[in-house]
Amino acid sequence: MKETDLSKKIKELRIRLGLSQDELATTSQLNLRTVQRVENGETEPRGDILKRLANALNVTPNDLIEWTEQEDRGFLTFLNLSALAFLAFPLLGIIVPLALYMLKKDKIKHIDYTGKRILNFQISWCLLVFLGYIIFISSVIFHFSISIPGISFANLGSLELAIIFIPLILYSVNILLIVINAFRSYKGRQVVYKPAIPFLR
C-alpha cells in the first residue's frame, strides 16, 4: 500500500461525503494538521488514527487498506520461489519468505493468504526435517534399527537411510510444491501448501 494511494482514497472519500478537512478532523477527533499530513502523503495513518478516519468516513480500516492494495502477481510468484532458500539451509525457507511477507504486508492483494500458507508449510516442513534428523542420529547413537515394511535395507545403516530419504523425499516434495504454487500465483490462483500445521491463520 503506497502512502499516496491511501492518501488519495481518504481524500476521495472525504470529498464524496462533502466534508472539508476541518470537518473531517472534527468528526474523527483529530487535529487539522494530522488530517492534512495524511492527505498530503506525509504520514501513513496506522492504529488509532486509521480507525478514527475510517469511522468518520463510514468505512472500516480494512476497507481502506484493501482499496489501496495493489495486485502484483509477480511479487507473489517471487514470494513462493523465495522459499527455495531452504536448499541452502532449511531455516532460510522460513526466514526469506517471512522477510518478504513483512515487507509487503497490507500492500499487495492476496499476500496475507499466500504468505501465511507458505510460512505454515515451511515451518511444518522444517520441523519434520529436524525430527527426521533427530530420529536417525538417535538410532545411530542408541543402536536401534529403523525398518520400512516391504523394503530391505539390510546393508544400510540408519545414517545412510537418513542421507538417502531426507533429501530425496522431503526436499523433492518441497521443491515441487514451491514450483507448482509459484505457477499458481503467476496465474492468479490461490496457493495450496498441504499438509501443513496452521501456525498462522
From CA 15, how far away is CA 89, in angstroms rounded?
52
Band of residue 2 on the pLDDT scale cut at 50, 70, 90: very low
How many Å apart are CA 99 and CA 88, to the nearest integer?
16
How is residue 151 annotated by DSSP? B
* Residue from 126, 154, 88, 123 nearest 134 by CA: 126
Cell 537418513 belongs to residue: 162
Strand partners for 148: 151
3-state helix, strand, coil in the chain (%, to 5): 70, 0, 30
Stated pTM of the model: 0.63
Which pLDDT belongs to residue 64? 75
Among 19, 46, 68, residue at a domain's last position: 68
* Averaged pLDDT of the chain: 84
What separation in angstroms does the CA of 67 have from each of 11, 61, 64, 170, 187?
13, 10, 5, 40, 22
Q: Is residue 109 part of a domain?
A: yes
pLDDT (0 to 100) of residue 149: 55
Average pLDDT of the segment spanning 107-128:
92
Q: Which domain holds residue 28?
A: 3-68
Q: Output the domain CATH number for residue 43.
A: 1.10.260.40
Q: Are 78 and 138 contained in the same domain?
A: yes
What are the φ/ψ torsions at residue 157 (nearest 5 degrees)?
Answer: -85, 175
Are 63 and 94 members of one domain? no
Claim to verify: residue 57 and residue 112 sit in the same structural domain:
no
Average pLDDT over residues 81-85: 97
> What is the torsion angle, in degrees rounded to the nearest 10, for the CA atoms of residue 98, residue 124, residue 173 and residue 113?
-50
Q: How does pLDDT run across 138-184, given as a tens digit for each residue?
A: 766 776 555 555 544 444 555 555 566 667 888 999 999 999 999 99
Residue 129: what pLDDT? Answer: 86
Q: Report the number of distinct structural domains present in the chain.
A: 2
Residue scoring higher pLDDT (71 or 82): 82
Find, among 88, 93, 96, 107, the residue nearest to 6 by Cα. Answer: 107
Q: What's residue 80's pLDDT?
A: 97
For residues 126-147, give the mean pLDDT.
Answer: 75
pLDDT in tens, 19-59: 999 999 999 999 999 999 999 988 888 888 989 999 999 98
- Joined together, the cell numbers standing for residue 187 give 496465474
How many degrees, rounded to 5, is the angle at CA 87 between CA 86 and CA 92? 25
What is the pLDDT at residue 78? 96
Q: Which amino acid is at 150?
A: G
> pLDDT class for 135, splitting at 50, 70, 90?
confident
Higher pLDDT, 117 or 152: 117
